[in-house]
Structure 1
Amino acid sequence: MRNKILFFILLTFCLGLSAQHRMANTAVTEQTGKKVSKLLKTNHRMLNPISPPGVYIADPEARQMPDGRVYVYGSRDEPTNVWCSHTYDVLSTSDLINWDVEQFSFATKGIGKQVDYTDQLLYAPDCIYHNGKYYLYYCLTNEKEDEGVAVSSSPYGPFKEGKAIAGIHGIDPSVFIDDDGQAYLFWGQANAKGAKLSKDMLSIEGEVHEKLLTYQEHAFNEGSSVRKRNGIYYYVYAGHQRHGESNCATLNYATATSPLGPYTYRGVIIDNWGSDRNLVNNHGSIAEIDGQWYIFYHRPTHASSSMRKVCMEPIVFNPDGTINEVEMTTQGCGGPINPLLRMDAARACLLSGHTTVVVRRPAHSNPVEYLSAIRNGDCAYWKYFDFTGMEVNSFICKTWGKNAAGTIEIRLDKPDGELIGTCELQPMNGDVAYSVHRTKVKPVTGVHALVLVFKNNDPSMTGQDFMNLEWFMFENHDR
């Protein structure tokens, strides 16, 4: 009876969250009257990705604005076969837990269109506050890769009257204002360029400085982002040195004592290799939020180089100003995760094999992301869970749609790590919407990565997708 009561409480809690989430998706902001989507306190933790299910924002530039909220500006991915779209959305939060999405803050086509000279796709943006206004710098996908600027009185936008910036051609603008009030713009691919901005922030002044970073010397590919800390200028960018010239999966950084260089290569802050089988790039920024610094980056989904999700991790500066490399995690900036709370499978921070994250969009409820295209021998990682004092003794998971017979090996830390349980999967036909599976697990204590290893027992399914995983959790029924 106690077990049934506990299960009912958990079910009621989950349904309550679902209802709250549906209500949040129809909320309206007082400032703009626009609809926003809100990611509620999923598992009561700060988890990666930070963008809600079904929302795909990449190339994140994060800043804490004068109102104290954190705003993340980035490209908006829509289809799986092309990068970006005609629209920018803005992520924002006051607590790093609840994230709002302000849609159509700026566009070159359709709703929110504020550019009268083009309808090209929008690549990565940046935004900064200056003298009561917010300046959004954008770049286009035309042959010249023109850049422009639009202005708003609100960090959410709408950003209006987008105008081209003469003399600026190249992707991924980064805007920076130094302590003396002088503003700078940085941009480029393979060759990082920089210039001073005019006092009105709408044009460049003086010469364009070439080769601040280069492909050869700094492994610079793209994704300029400049910040300053303790008198040191940090140039964060996407680098190609680890995984071949066609994959700029690392976020590197270089430092200087002047905003226009010379810059010295320092190392890697984060590497998103392994987050999806068709990964091509990374792009992000560092930001100080209430005294703590973080790295913002993206991970792809849908076995595509696009459909990317924003993530964040805390970073640490050494006394000499260098930054320790950090790993991708599920826990993000919130600390180890409570294993007794439901974990969305799509929050896996590493995937091995054919598995990828996809989304389904039910007609009358919120989008649901899950692990799909799972094949025999694939692995998925979630970092990290704190099992201390939890006395877990069972594991429960939900598979969705058709699946073949197989098993899920529940392991600690690595694919051949300690096996704490094996979940048996019975074959399900396509007429069954979902199935919930439960198995006993051995006692666990301490902080561990969780690795699920998927095994297919049907020889006829070799080399084929055999299951989808929506969520899982641990239980302690006999506690």
Structure 2
Amino acid sequence: MLIFPLLAGSVLSVQAQNPIIQTKYTADPAPYVHGDTIYLYTTHDEDDAEGFKMYDWLLYTSTDMVNWQDHGAVASLKDFAWNDKENGAWAECVVERNGKWYMYCPIHGHGIGVLVSDSPYGPFKDPIGKPLVWQKEHWNDIDPSVFIDDDGQAYMYWGNPNVYCVLLNEDMISCKSDVMKLHDVPEHYQEGPWFYKRDGHYYLAYASTCCPEGIGYAMSDNALGPWKFKGYVMAPTDRTRGNHPGIIDFRGKSYGFGLNYDLKNISIKEHKERRSVGAFPLHYREDGTIVESPYFKDVVVAPANTFNPYQKVQAETMAWGYGLKTIKRGVEDIVVTDVNANEYIQLKAVDFGRKAAHTMKMNAAAVLGGQIEVRIDDKKGTLLGTLNIMSTGSEETYRTFETRLKAVEGVHDLYLVFKGKAGKSLMNLDWWQMDNEPVGHVTYSRIVENGGTGKYPAIMSEVKGLEAHTVFMPQDLSAFNENNPLPVLVWGNGACSNSPWEHYKFLNEIASQGYLVIATGYLPKNDEVYHGDMSTAQQQIESIDWALAQNKDKKSPLYHKINTKAICASGMSCGGLQTLYNGADSRISAYLICNSGLFTDASLTIPNMPMPSKDQLKKIHAPILYMLGGKEDIAYNNGMDDYHRINHVQAIAINYPVGHGGTYRQAHGGEFRFPAIAWLNWQLKGDQEAAKWFTGNSPLLLQRKGWTMEKNF
């Protein structure tokens, strides 16, 4: 094993780790780089395959070239209604254009189809209901490779033993030209073309003449050739019966992918079509030609980035996991199964940072149960801790288990080594997460009303470092990232209470819709009235400060998961006055004033209650909604007067005849939750369907019994 230092006191193994996927048999790699992620699409050889037995297409992702997350099958032969073949899901290619993802799929003997999705993870649908290309006179239409040139023109190459090309229209689902058959087929060409451009040179890599197959390549100054053979990316050897190239640039380096039989060969020596994808570093000379690479198992792919153990990690993310299997649980979730004693999961280049990990959680299901040893640097390396996975009663009943860890800093390989009764499947694994905060950094948490009715069941928590605040957020943050961040609601309580005891059901319901909600005051641990000190307007500012800091903190579970440009300041009664007092804060992008309004006579002050004059309304700089309890609400006149004075931003006043107390204490916040969530979805998420609650000739809100509305636009 080769090691090299990264940080003082830390080591990282760089042994060759091919094939890169071990839980399934994979072939025909089609890597695609988008942002900071490699999307690796592959074909799938069934575990019992003798010949080619291929039903679907798989997806794996990585941000470091060594740790790969399994996303399962994202498309299958069943997605093509016009296809009647049960077998033949051959080598695919996937590209992104204008926010759409296009998958080109050969169905052996039935041409090449195309699927489209709004996401790289699917679902993929057939937009044309027929093959994109099908030359019925032969079976050559396999192995498509699609590339979009700098001028926007898309090309598709394919074929065995001939090479074909067609120009695609911008819609990517129709052909701009007739099918062209290349007359200058590159030397040693067999199949599996991989067409791309780099530094002004066009490349056509391919599986070389069988058998054995290496990876040959040709170059041209023109996208349509002529092509000149330049040599091998990887030469044929006795270890490469078949091959299929995929080539990318990622994080400033180049990489090649291909296929082999190395995974099968670990346990089965006779030939069967059970293939495995491998990867290798790729190097170019100054003239653009490629330096020939040794065989997969003779090279090292060093980590292109470190791995964060403090995020929620899906258990099916690994650099090595031979012997384990992965299966789909439900529609999208993937779990690790067939976990046996002495098998292990390895993750490479795990960065524990300079603030050592303290705890580790594992979400698992088990009938038998067992132990998971948490080790670094080797499967027999330093033991950090042991997770005891007890029986949960069934393989479908998941619980979260936790253990303390010995302090570890720096970058190390991580090993999760399974122990238990030999010959039996010990457990299934869903996800794990480490925590580098001292044990107890969340001093108290409580699940309210089963997490709410929204898509993202919420939890109510006290958070260390944010004194006298209560945080509501989705229990599972894995769905949120820079592309789908959490908008923020900062809340002030009625009576300036220093606890949201009266509003926590309402706030929890909002969080379950995909929001980070930060309320002033201490977490209510029961339904009793809070009799402590009053809150201050400054606590609402602290809420905003904390949200912004968490989004920047790499050690926070909310890192890069918060939309810092989508913050609504809100509050009820005295909390509404606190919100208006803070109204000039430029970080606020919307307001929601509940059962509140500025006093016409600011001298009618109440101790500790902010009482700005009506001039404060001029500092409101974003859309504002007043949600009042009708004429029975003691804040009705003040709130409506505020509304009528505001003409420089969009303003709406709505009333529901329930009085000053609103419906916050009712289940899930009662009737008030509906317009509140619609307002937030419109203002913070840009949801135009939600806007219909307040706009048009017949706003949806007014279709609900009891509501009235006024608006200044």
Offset at residue 272 of structure 1 (A): 5.9
Structure 2 residue aligned with 1:59, among 28, 33, 39? 28
**Highest relative contact order (Cα 8 Å, sep 6+), 1 or 2?**
1
Q: For residues 341 and 122 of structure 2, what CA distance do their matches in structure 1 show?
A: 28
Residue 200 of structure 2 corresponds to residue 231 of structure 1:
yes
Q: For residues 122 and 184 of structure 2, what CA distance do their matches in structure 1 show?
A: 32
Structure 2 residue aligned with 1:270, among 206, 212, 234? 234
Distance 1:99 1:46, change over 3 A: farther
Residue 259 of structure 2 corresponds to residue 298 of structure 1:
yes
- In structure 1, the partner of 2:660 is none
Q: Kindly indicate whether the alpha-carbon contact (under 8 Å) linking 1:63 and 1:72 is maintained by their aligned counterparts in 2.
A: yes
Deviation sequence 1:181-235 (CA, Å, 0-9, x none):
0001111102111110012111222232212553xx5111000111101110000
Residue 277 of structure 2 corresponds to residue 310 of structure 1:
yes
Offset at residue 274 of structure 1 (A): 3.9
Offset at residue 130 of structure 1 (A): 0.6
Code of the aligned partner of 2:158: W
Deviation sequence 1:389-414 (CA, Å, 0-9, x none):
xxxxxxx9xxxxxxxxxxxxxxxxxx
Structure 2 residue aligned with 1:286, among 237, 244, 247? 247
- In structure 2, the partner of 1:366 is 339
- In structure 2, the partner of 1:323 is 290
TM-score, scaled to structure 2: 0.39
Alignment of structure 1 residues 215-230 onto 2, 5 Å: 218-230=187-199
Deviation sequence 1:425-459 (CA, Å, 0-9, x none):
xxxxxxx97xxxxxxxxxxxxxxxxxxxxxxxxxx
Residue 46 of structure 2 corresponds to residue 69 of structure 1:
no
Structure 1 residue aligned with 2:166, among 185, 189, 195? 195
Deviation sequence 1:18-58 (CA, Å, 0-9, x none):
xxxxxxxxxxxxxxxxxxxxxxxxx8557533543231111
Offset at residue 72 of structure 1 (A): 1.1
Distance 1:88 1:289, change over 3 A: same
Q: Kindly indicate whether the alpha-carbon contact (under 8 Å) linking 2:18 and 2:278 is maintained by their aligned counterparts in 1.
A: yes
Q: For residues 323 and 161 of structure 1, what CA distance do their matches in structure 2 show?
A: 37
Residue 76 of structure 2 corresponds to residue 103 of structure 1:
no
Percent sequence identity is 27
Secondary structure at 1:161 match in 2: coil
Offset at residue 323 of structure 1 (A): 0.4
Q: For residues 176 and 263 of structure 1, what CA distance do their matches in structure 2 show?
A: 16
Q: For residues 365 and 146 of structure 1, what CA distance do their matches in structure 2 show?
A: 37
Deviation sequence 1:367-396 (CA, Å, 0-9, x none):
8999xxxxxxxxxxxxxxxxxxxxxxxxx9
Structure 1 residue aligned with 2:120, among 145, 155, 163? 155
Q: Kindly indicate whether the alpha-carbon contact (under 8 Å) linking 1:87 and 1:108 is maintained by their aligned counterparts in 2.
A: yes
Alignment of structure 1 residues 377-392 onto 2, 5 Å: none
Structure 2 residue aligned with 1:251, among 188, 193, 215? 215
Q: For residues 367 and 221 of structure 1, what CA distance do their matches in structure 2 show?
A: 41
Q: Kindly indicate whether the alpha-carbon contact (under 8 Å) linking 2:234 and 2:295 is maintained by their aligned counterparts in 1.
A: yes
Q: For residues 290 and 360 of structure 1, what CA distance do their matches in structure 2 show?
A: 30
Task: Give the stretch that moved more between structures: 127-136 or 74-83.
Answer: 74-83
Q: For residues 85 and 292 of structure 1, what CA distance do their matches in structure 2 show?
A: 32
Offset at residue 83 of structure 1 (A): 2.1
Deviation sequence 1:236-271 (CA, Å, 0-9, x none):
10112xxxx4432x1000001111110000000013
Distance 1:332 1:233, change over 3 A: same
Larger Rg: 2
Alignment of structure 1 residues 33-48 onto 2, 5 Å: 45=14, 47-48=16-17
Code of the aligned partner of 2:83: Y
Code of the aligned partner of 2:227: Y
Secondary structure at 1:100 match in 2: strand
Secondary structure at 1:88 match in 2: strand
Offset at residue 365 of structure 1 (A): 3.3
Distance 1:271 1:308, change over 3 A: farther
Q: For residues 75 and 245 of structure 2, what CA distance do their matches in structure 1 show?
A: 20
Aligned residue pairs total 303
Residue 85 of structure 2 corresponds to residue 119 of structure 1:
yes
Secondary structure at 2:126 match in 1: strand
Code of the aligned partner of 1:157: G
- In structure 2, the partner of 1:31 is none
Deviation sequence 1:286-331 (CA, Å, 0-9, x none):
1111221111111114343522111111111111110010112445
Distance 1:192 1:225, change over 3 A: same
Q: Kindly indicate whether the alpha-carbon contact (under 8 Å) linking 1:46 and 1:97 is maintained by their aligned counterparts in 2.
A: no
Offset at residue 86 of structure 1 (A): 1.1
Structure 2 residue aligned with 1:81, among 32, 43, 50? 50
Distance 1:198 1:316, change over 3 A: same
TM-score, scaled to structure 1: 0.57
Deviation sequence 1:334-367 (CA, Å, 0-9, x none):
18xxxxxxxxxxx99xxxxxxxxx9687996338
Distance 1:233 1:46, change over 3 A: farther
Q: For residues 44 and 340 of structure 2, what CA distance do their matches in structure 1 show?
A: 16
Q: For residues 268 and 369 of structure 1, what CA distance do their matches in structure 2 show?
A: 40
Distance 1:164 1:212, change over 3 A: same
- In structure 2, the partner of 1:131 is 98
Q: Kindly indicate whether the alpha-carbon contact (under 8 Å) linking 2:56 and 2:89 is maintained by their aligned counterparts in 1.
A: yes
Q: For residues 296 and 111 of structure 2, what CA distance do their matches in structure 1 show?
A: 36
Say what the alpha-carbon RMSD is for the aligned residues. 3.6
Q: Kindly indicate whether the alpha-carbon contact (under 8 Å) linking 1:231 and 1:257 is maintained by their aligned counterparts in 2.
A: yes
Q: For residues 16 and 259 of structure 2, what CA distance do their matches in structure 1 show?
A: 14
Greater helix share, structure number: 2
Structure 2 residue aligned with 1:204, among 169, 175, 179? 175
Distance 1:333 1:263, change over 3 A: same
Offset at residue 125 of structure 1 (A): 0.1
Structure 2 residue aligned with 1:180, among 151, 154, 160? 151
Code of the aligned partner of 1:189: N
Greater strand share, structure number: 1
Q: For residues 307 and 102 of structure 1, what CA distance do their matches in structure 2 show?
A: 20
- In structure 1, the partner of 2:347 is none
- In structure 2, the partner of 1:440 is none
Offset at residue 68 of structure 1 (A): 1.9
- In structure 2, the partner of 1:333 is 301
Code of the aligned partner of 1:321: G
- In structure 2, the partner of 1:339 is none
Code of the aligned partner of 2:205: V
Q: For residues 149 and 38 of structure 2, what CA distance do their matches in structure 1 show?
A: 20
Offset at residue 116 of structure 1 (A): 4.2
Secondary structure at 1:204 match in 2: coil
Q: Kindly indicate whether the alpha-carbon contact (under 8 Å) linking 1:63 and 1:288 is maintained by their aligned counterparts in 2.
A: no
Q: For residues 369 and 208 of structure 1, what CA distance do their matches in structure 2 show?
A: 54
Q: Kindly indicate whether the alpha-carbon contact (under 8 Å) linking 1:272 and 1:282 is maintained by their aligned counterparts in 2.
A: no
Any stretches of 5+ residues in structure 2 without a counterpart?
A: 1-11, 304-318, 327-335, 344-379, 381-421, 424-713
Q: For residues 150 and 368 of structure 1, what CA distance do their matches in structure 2 show?
A: 41
Q: Kindly indicate whether the alpha-carbon contact (under 8 Å) linking 1:287 and 1:295 is maintained by their aligned counterparts in 2.
A: yes
Secondary structure at 2:132 match in 1: strand
